[in-house]
Amino acid sequence: MKTKSKMTLVRLLAGKNMSEVAKEDGVSPQAVRFRLTPEDLATYQNHSAQLSADRQQADVDDMEERRAWRWGSKPEARFWENVDIQGPDDCWEWQGSRLPSGYGQLHIWGDKNHLYAHRVTWEIAHGPVPDDLDICHSCDNPPCCNPAHLWAGTAKQNTWDSIRKGRFKPFGNKCPTCNIDEVE
């Protein structure tokens, strides 16, 4: 029993997870778990916890590195030169080029594509924007780059936000059958 447990533990510590070991042996993951003595199970669990902590730390380091690469102190200062900075509660409008939709855009050091100024603002304040999130304006002013007016939400939250504010018009300006104020 103990030997079997140790041999299984060795394979787990070598980097396989329980499902992989189970697959190799043609048994259920549960069966693999039952092979382990409580001490060996605890050793494996500590090992897994450490691994995932290391992985998270690596992600954080990677984000920091990307941020440092893009935002040495100079480019960041250059970015703010294009923003009309006002009081903390006011809108800070982008003074550089704008898209027809009103959003500020810029071409950035090291990136091939144009970036949205408000997304870059959020990035300066919080780090890289997660892939699945939109950066939304609480002030509804597209060129605004006041970090206090920006929030990150899913596309779905963004749509709901514009519905709440009566800006979402799937039927053009007039909807004969619904009252948008009553959506909530």
- For Zn ion, the binding residue among 108, 139, 152, 180 (CB under 5 A) is 139
How far apart are the C-alpha atoms of 37 and 3, rounded to whole Å? Answer: 10
At its nearest, how many Å lie between Zn ion and the CB of residue 137? 6
> Which CB, 20 or 84, lies closer to Zn ion?
84
Residue 149 burial (CB count, 10 A): 19
- Reduce the DSSP state of residue 56 to 3 states and report it: helix
Q: Which of 118, 155, 159, 116 is nearest to 134 (CA)?
A: 155
- Pick the stretch among 4-12, 114-122, 134-142, 157-165 that binds Zn ion (CB under 5 A): 134-142
Residue 18's nearest CA partner among 10, 30, 26, 7 is 30
| Site for Zn ion contains 141 (CB under 5 A) | yes
Q: Which stretch binds Zn ion (CB under 5 A): 86-94, 110-118, 160-168, 173-181?
A: 86-94
- Tokens standing for residue 176: 């004969």
State which residue, 128 or 147, has the beta carbon closest to Zn ion.
147
* Distance of alpha carbon 118 from alpha carbon 174, whole angstroms: 30
Is residue 142 within the footprint of Zn ion (CB under 5 A)?
A: no
Note whether 18 binds Zn ion by CB under 5 A: no
CA distance 168 to 170: 6
- CB-count burial class (<10 Å; 0-12, 13-18, 19+) for 92: buried
CB of 151 or CB of 168, closer to Zn ion? 151
Using rule CB under 5 A, residue 91 touches Zn ion = yes
**Site size for Zn ion, by CB under 5 A?**
6
The reply on whether position 117 binds Zn ion by CB under 5 A is no
Hey, is 134 helix, strand or coil?
strand
Lookup result for tokens 């290391």: 54
User: Among residues 133 and 139, whose Cβ is nearest to Zn ion?
Assistant: 139
Interface segment toward Zn ion; rule CB under 5 A; list 56-64, 148-156, 164-172, 174-182: 148-156
Minimum CB separation of residue 130 from Zn ion in Å reads 22
148 lies in the site for Zn ion, by CB under 5 A: no
The type of residue at 33 is R
Which residue ranges make up the site for Zn ion (CB under 5 A)? Answer: 91, 139, 141, 144, 146, 149
